[in-house]
Structure 1
Amino acid sequence: MSDYTYHDVSKMIDHSLLNPTLAVKDLEQGIQLAIAYDVASVCIMPYHLKRCAEVLKGTDVKASTTIGFPHGGHTTEIKRAEAVRAIADGCQELDMVVNVSKVLSGDWDYVRNDIAAVIEVAHAAGQKVKVIFENAYLNDDQKISLCKICTELNADWVKTSTGYAPGGATHEDLKLMREHAGDHVQVKAAGGVRDLDALLAVRALGVTRCGASRTAEMLGEARKRLGLSAIEATANDASGY
């Protein structure tokens, strides 16, 4: 008897459609795949967000996009404007990148204000924010400081990485983030979780979301193990993460 249901794992997945080489037809197929597998959200390039939100309307899959992606170096004003536009386009979850340069410089007031700007916009609209640390570039003290800031600002998730840095989600980082983020802050893994066993492993560490491009493979395997029928859906899975 499995200790998880299909929706326990499908609703962990943010299906990633962020690779810049994806054509519009790939994005459209990816949205349909996400609906077929009933994932948590589709995280899509901002220019296609409005269309994505329209297609997802009436489903149980949320529309999400990125802010300050992938390097976090946008000015705070631009990140705020991106958040305002994303919400106007139907975004329900915003994945924002911290200003990595400012984190490495120890300018914590700037970092706090930068994160707060996006959270304020999103929460005022009743939407949620995942704060991307890009852990591959940070030491543990910096990761812990970010966890504390995100806890104080009531971020909805802390997230390991964009999926485009030299490293992604490690178990060590996930344990660290779960330990130092408040109980009201969830943890998202991104980068390197590529099969069902890896997904189940991070779930056991307290992870509630995972960025994934290999959604069909992971959830197809889950359905197989749970004795559920296969889902006939095709999409380009060269989507990032």
Structure 2
Amino acid sequence: MRLNKTIDHTLLKQNSTEAQIKELCSQAKEFDFATVCINPCWIEFCKKELAGSDVGVCTVIGFPLGAMTTDSKVFEAKNAIEIGADEVDMVLNIGALKDNRMDYVINEIKAIKEAVGTHVLKVIIETCLLTDEEKVRACEAVVKAGADFVKTSTGFSTSGATVEDVRLMKATVKDQCKVKAAGGVRSYDDLLQMIEAGAERIGTSSGCALLQGKNIENNVY
């Protein structure tokens, strides 16, 4: 596995500027990351910046709370694909999961997967807000709904990915879908541990430093 191709190079802060997004794309091309992960307003800009490279454009849907209506998430996902997104990271409805309204959870993921078609769909379950039982239930829902990845975190809640959560998620989904770890990867060793635990994609704003063996302080995402 090429480590650089496990990384979604991420910038999701609401105060991100065009210059910062341009630099994100430049870094992603230099290191040949899997994707840049950005808010939907930057999709078309990044598509142009990354033209001719092997770096995809990933965007977020229902972000960061997941509490939007299903119809609004579906519209957002369709629009993202129409304007150039290659991959979509949606936020699961956490309240519905905690209420055990699994038909709602599964049907929403299914509807968004239908909206994005053959494009990659990752489902953020926000592990820091869930019990282990709820994490397992969320992973099972992601598999049943036909999504491509289950993802740990938005990076905007109380904490990010842990090795233990990644291991639990991988044990639950097995080979039926993939696992993405996001947030909390602060060193090259952290990166390797997440992959060894079962993650096939890493969401981080610090991929360049991590691949150069530098530790990151106060890295949120």
Matches of 2:31 and 2:98, distance apart in 1: 39
What amino acid does structure 1 have at the position aligned with 2:122? K
Give the aligned CA root-mean-square deviation in angstroms. Answer: 1.6
1:39 pairs with 33, 42, 54, which one?
33
Paired letter, 2:3: V
Structure 1 residue 95 and structure 2 residue 89: aligned? Answer: yes
Contact preservation (8 Å) 1:18, 1:240? no
Matched, 1:122 2:113: no
Preserved CA contact (<8 Å) 1:35 1:61: yes
For normalisation by structure 1, the TM-score amounts to 0.87
Conservation of the 8 A alpha-carbon contact between 2:186 and 2:219:
no
**What is residue 99 of structure 2 aligned with on the other side?**
105
- Per-residue Cα deviation, 1:48-95 (whole angstroms, up to 9, x for no partner): 111111222221111010000000011000000000100011111100
Question: Which residue in the other structure is 2:16 paired with?
Answer: 22
CA distance in 1, matches of 2:220, 2:60: 13
User: Counterparts of 1:239 and 1:21 in 2: how far apart (Å)?
Assistant: 16
Q: Post-superposition shift, 1:240?
A: 5.3
**Residues 45, 66 of structure 1: 8 Å contact kept:** yes
Per-residue CA deviation, residues 157-189 of structure 1 (Å, 9 max, x unaligned), is 100010111111111111110011141301000
Q: Deviating runs (4+, > 2 A) in structure 1? A: none
Contact kept, 8 Å, 2:110 with 2:146, in 1: the verdict is no
Picking from 164, 167, 176, the partner of 1:184 is 176
Structure 2 match to 1:212:
204
Which has the greater radius of gyration?
Answer: 1
For residue 113 of structure 1, give the secondary structure of its aligned residue in structure 2.
Answer: helix
Amino acid at match of 2:130: L
Task: Give the match's secondary structure for 2:60.
Answer: strand
Once residues 60 and 161 of structure 1 are traced to their aligned partners in structure 2, the CA distance between those partners, rounded to angstroms, is 25
The separation in 2 between residues aligned to 1:122 and 1:60, in whole angstroms, is 20
By how many angstroms is 1:20 displaced? 1.1
- 1:89-141 CA distance string (max 9 Å, x none): 11111000001111122211111111111111112xx2010000001111111
Q: Structure 2 CA distance, aligned partners of 1:29 and 1:166? A: 28
2: CA distance between counterparts of 1:84 and 1:77? Answer: 11
**Secondary structure of 2:153's match?**
coil
Higher-RCO chain (CA-CA 8 Å, sequence separation at least 6): 1
2:46 aligned partner, one-letter code: C
Q: Which runs of 5+ in 2 are unaligned?
A: none
Shift of the 67–95 alpha-carbon distance from structure 1 to 2, 3 Å rule, reads: same
TM-score by length of 2: 0.94
In structure 1, runs of 5+ residues without a counterpart are 223-237
> What secondary structure is seen at the aligned counterpart in 2 of 1:82?
helix
In the alignment, the residues of structure 2 paired with residue 60 and residue 101 of structure 1 have an alpha-carbon distance, to the nearest angstrom, of 37
How many positions carry a matched residue from both structures? 218
